Structure 1
Amino acid sequence: MAAAVFAVLWAVHAGGPAAPAKAATPRIAAANGQGLRALFGSENRVFHSHEPIVAVTFNAAWNDAGLDRILGELDRWHAPATFFLTGDFADRHPEVVKRIAAAGHGLGNHSYSHPYFSDLTASERKREVQAADWSLRAAGAGAALTPFFRFPYSETTPAHIREVNCLGFADIEFTTDTNGWKGTEGGMTVDRAVSRAVEALRPGAILQMHLGAPNNRTEVIDAQALPQILEAFTARGYRVIDLRTLLTSQGRPAPTSR
C-alpha cells in the first residue's frame, strides 16, 4: 500500500518522467509486478531485457569538475542518464541539480552525507534518505526527481533495502563501475575505464560513473572516457535508455549478483 501511495504522489509531484526527446522507450520483459513495485526487494544491479539496451548513471558527492563535459557528451550522443546525488552535494551545488534537470536527465537519491549504512541506526538511515530527498527538492530537482536510491559504497543488505523500500524508494545499484573515480594516482586511465564498461556490457547492464573527483581533484577520468564508452556501446549495437522507463513499463529486475 505504501509503495502504491508513494508512486501516485511521486507521479503528481514530478508530472511523469522527463526524458531527452530522442530517448526511445525499450520493451522490457514483463513480470508479475509493474513499475516501481517491481523493483522493490532487490538491489537491482541489472534489469531484464531481450534487447541490447544499457543504462548509464553517475554518482556525485565530491565536486562537479566533470559536469560540463559529461552533459555535453550525453547531449551529443542523445543519451539519457540518471545522476545519484548526495543531499550535501545538492546543498552545495543547487545550480548543478537545476542543470541536470534542465538537460532532461533523472535525479536519484544517494543519501545525505554518504555514510556506511551499517554504522547507523535505523532512524539514522531513515534521516539520511529523507534529508537527501528534501535537499534535492529544495535545490530544484522538480520533475527530474525519481524514486530511486543508491546506497553509499554500494553497501546493501536485504534489511536495509526493505527500509528504503518502505520509504518509497527502489534501490538501483550497478553492474560495474568504471573505477574512473580513482584517478591516475589510483592507477586508472581512460582506456581502463572504457575497457571496464565494455567488458560488462550485456542487455540490461547498469553502468556507474562519477560526476566529479575526490580530494578536490579536477581530473575526471569518467568525463574523459564517456565519449569512447558511448561510441563503443553504439558500435556494438547497444542503445542507452532512461532508467525511468522502468517506472512506466512492465518490468522486473534481473537476479542480483555481485
Structure 2
Amino acid sequence: MLKGGALPADGWSMHSLSVITDRRPLTWRLLRAGPVFAVLLWTLAQGPVVQPTEAVAVHPAATVDGKGLRALFGSENRVIRTRERVIAVTFNAAWNDAGLDNILGELARRRAPATFFLTGDFADRYPAVVRKIAAAGHGLGNHSFSHPYFKDLTEAGRQREVVAADRALRAAGAGGRAVTPFFRFPYGETSPAHIREVNALGFADIEFTTDTNGWKGTEGGMTVDRAVDRALDALRPGAVLQMHIGASQGRTEVIDAQALPRILKALDARGYRVIDLRTLLTPRTPARA
C-alpha cells in the first residue's frame, strides 16, 4: 500500500553540499545529491504543464497521506491508498506496439487516462510511438532500459538502467508533463534496497495490484475472458491494473487490447472511475471547514 517515506538520512548531508565543487555534469550532480534535488530537477525539466487532451479525464484521488511524490517513496506502491472507488490503468511495453492503436482508441472513447511504462530500448526503437502516447495525453513511466533482472546487476548497473531509460524517453520527443518520475521494476521484482536506490534517483516505484496476464497469449493458456476475470477479481478502491501493449516472440495477437473494452465497461458498471497516476504528484489541498 502507499505509505509515506522519510527522506534518506543523507538527503541534506555534506554529500549533498559536495555538488557545489563537483565538476561532473549538473544533472548527475543533482541526482547524486539525493531525492530532494532530484525531484527539483524533474520539476524544472517539465517546463510548462501540458494539460491532457479531451480524450483523458483527470480527476484527483483522495489519497490519505496527501504528500505528493515523496509520500510514495519507501514503498512498492501496489495499491493507491484511497477510500474512493477509483482504479489506475497501466500498460508495459518492451516488445512491440502491436495493440497500441486499439488501446489508445478505446481509452479515448472511454475518456480514460493511463500510464505507459516503457523500456528505454522500446523508446529508442519506437520514438514515434512514445510521442503518440504523450500526444494522447497519457503519462510515461520508466521500466528500465533493457528489462533485466535487477538482482543480477550491481548498484551502478541498476542506476544506469534507470537513468538511461529516462534519457531515452526524453530523447524520443515526449514533452511537457508526459514523462513522469515513476519507475516500475522489470518482472515486478522489488526489494527494499532497490526501491531506496530508485527513490534516491528521484523516482517513485509504482507496481501493480494485479496483472491480467494477457501477455502470455493463447500459447500460454490465456484468453480474453481470463484476462477480464483477473482484472475484475482484483477490483478494489485504489487498485492498479497492469497490462501490456505488445506481444512477445513475433506474435501479433494482443489479448490485453481485446480485453480492455470489456474491462473499462465493467469498471463503469461497478461505479469505478479510472484516474491518472500523475494526480498523486500534487498534494491535495484539505477542504476548509
TM (normalized to structure 1)?
Answer: 0.93
User: Shift of residue 20 of structure 1?
Assistant: 4.1
2:245 pairs with one of 195, 211, 218: 211
2:62 pairs with one of 28, 48, 68: 28
Q: Which stretches of structure 1, 4 residues or longer, exceed 4 Å deviation after superposition? A: none
- Whether the 8 Å contact between 2:61 and 2:86 is mirrored in structure 1 is no
Within 2, Cα distance between the matches of 1:20 and 1:177? 27
Within 2, Cα distance between the matches of 1:179 and 1:30? 30
Within 1, Cα distance between the matches of 2:204 and 2:256? 25
- Whether the 8 Å contact between 1:18 and 1:105 is mirrored in structure 2 is no
Partner of 1:170: 204
Within 2, Cα distance between the matches of 1:41 and 1:159? 9
- What does the per-residue CA deviation read over 1:131-153, in whole Å, with 9 as the maximum and x for residues that have no partner? 10110010012120000000000
Secondary structure of residue in 2 paired with 1:45:
coil
1:227 pairs with one of 261, 266, 272: 261
- Tell me which amino acid in the other structure corresponds to 1:246: L
- Tell me which amino acid in the other structure corresponds to 1:66: G
Q: Work out which structure has the larger RCO, using CA pairs closer than 8 Å and 6 or more positions apart in sequence.
A: 1
1:125 matched to 2:161: no
1:6 matched to 2:38: yes
- Tell me which amino acid in the other structure corresponds to 1:115: P
- Tell me which amino acid in the other structure corresponds to 1:5: F
1:183 pairs with one of 200, 217, 236: 217
Partner of 1:256: none
Partner of 1:63: 96
Partner of 1:45: 78
- Tell me which amino acid in the other structure corresponds to 1:4: V
- What does the per-residue CA deviation read over 1:4-60, in whole Å, with 9 as the maximum and x for residues that have no partner? 3222322222234743445232342332x6111000000000011111000000000
- Whether the 8 Å contact between 1:97 and 1:141 is mirrored in structure 2 is yes
- Whether the 8 Å contact between 1:181 and 1:210 is mirrored in structure 2 is yes
- Whether the 8 Å contact between 2:61 and 2:275 is mirrored in structure 1 is no
Flag structure 1 segments of 5+ consecutive residues without an equivalent. 252-258
- Tell me which amino acid in the other structure corresponds to 2:106: E
Percent identical pairs in the alignment equals 71
Partner of 1:194: 228
Computing the radius of gyration from Cα coordinates, the structure with the larger value is 2
- Tell me which amino acid in the other structure corresponds to 1:91: D
- Whether the 8 Å contact between 1:106 and 1:146 is mirrored in structure 2 is yes
Aligned CA RMSD, in angstroms, stands at 1.4
User: Shift of residue 250 of structure 1?
Assistant: 4.0
User: Shift of residue 160 of structure 1?
Assistant: 0.2
TM (normalized to structure 2)?
Answer: 0.84
Flag structure 2 segments of 5+ consecutive residues without an equivalent. 1-10, 12-33
